[in-house]
Structure 1
């Protein structure tokens, strides 16, 4: 990194998250501000391997801050997991005079970035873009706030029909390995129970809780289930089990699925993405590499990519207590 960086590339990888476009916009405009050329890489690491590049300026990213998804597209790349694939990707970067890379994505994206640093010592910085909020080193990831609002809005509507028909709804939300979406949306939507991977409630406890709700006169209930919860093989199996114990309930299962990824990003996610996009470019220009930029106590911070991948954010025990108390 002795030579000054004259060209920075940016890509999005992994699952899309609302606010990724805002981050792309911030990277491009920060490059313009600091008089550095910016190159967009289409389709993540696969585009890097194929040299699918386009020079971007401030006007290219006009009016994208409000759009969900990612204008640079995202794709899984089995080829990038091979030495040959990474060699091709590095060759395209060098041939195009690109001196540094900004990665927007989650732990899989950062794992690929670490490998790239190990093999080629190529300067890069990560920006956490994932709705699961499961990346260590930042209080919030881009897309998490929007996903929460989407889930709460959906549960509010489900509760209307649950109340009208004395129904028990199991609402599955994303979170294969982390329960942040389920816990926070469950509290925000007033769920009777919240099932998350980090805390195995167990079938007996769930049945006991639903019994208590019925004894207290509740005629309908909402149970928010993180997709990674360990009680049943899946939310439908869990619904079948509860049907056996509560024959008077009309059981319904609703899987919110990929609707949680879409939609216009919230103001919070737009601001977060803008701050982190600028911070990523500034870090690279300051000769900082191998880190992820995040937000800690409302201040921009950095953490090594290896820590961001290997370490976990813990569920706040206060939130678990709040969920228990407010579900009475």
Structure 2
């Protein structure tokens, strides 16, 4: 089995990409406290929404079904991962009368938290357009901040296009009718991790991973784009094919003297320690200018890993698109298998 796992970072410049619950015309960005320090963050739910919204228009999104009213409302997608890439990769839960189906996410994303403490600034504004002379304006305030946000990411490749049928209750992915339809459309029966499953053709599974990687290279979104538009593509992406699904690279970004630093010593030691689990070179996509001149310093400090073919450094968009091309061309088909370990 192989997982693509690692770290992504966003470079937020005077932005408010994910807001919390406002009160009294006062908007606050989402943040958490670590000790006495405030760290703004973008929730995993928000980032996943950006990814969904950034998928190519040619990918038909799974339709959302809404039922009930008031406090007894439900909303869920169609729950057809055989037909829809987003149901396949992002997961879902359908819990209605006499029917319970769930797909655990194939793409796991962490909360993108500011690496260093940052105190958001409060922006003051008014609305008075069209008001009569002498009328008081409507006052509103909202927070924004500049920070480097980091979070983990993991893609379970053998489960892409593979849908569990065993298990009780919510463990089942497809109804009997949906499974029958998927079989008729070309899915085959397989065993994965002790469960009976249906699996799509390998060509489609490759394609779905390639679409996701290309989307990650061009993701867009975020709140308050009218006032705080900014780049939301990852400024840094570290991805490694790892056999066991562990993520050794969660600590490559650190705070030092209130600045975000990329710790090459951490990366070097993790690459060495996890060498038996790595299933290919580590890819480090790093946008020029992010973290000043640290990319050039890291390239020099890690030159031996680069020369040995254990590490590749380049622009995030270039590396992600090249990886997508390689997967779609069938050069990494072994990553989709799940042999006994």
Q: TM-score range by the shorter chain?
A: under 0.3
Q: Which has the higher helix share?
A: 1
Q: Which has the higher strand share?
A: 2
Query: Under a length normalisation based on structure 1, what TM-score does the superposition of the two structures give?
Result: 0.26
Query: Under a length normalisation based on structure 2, what TM-score does the superposition of the two structures give?
Result: 0.26
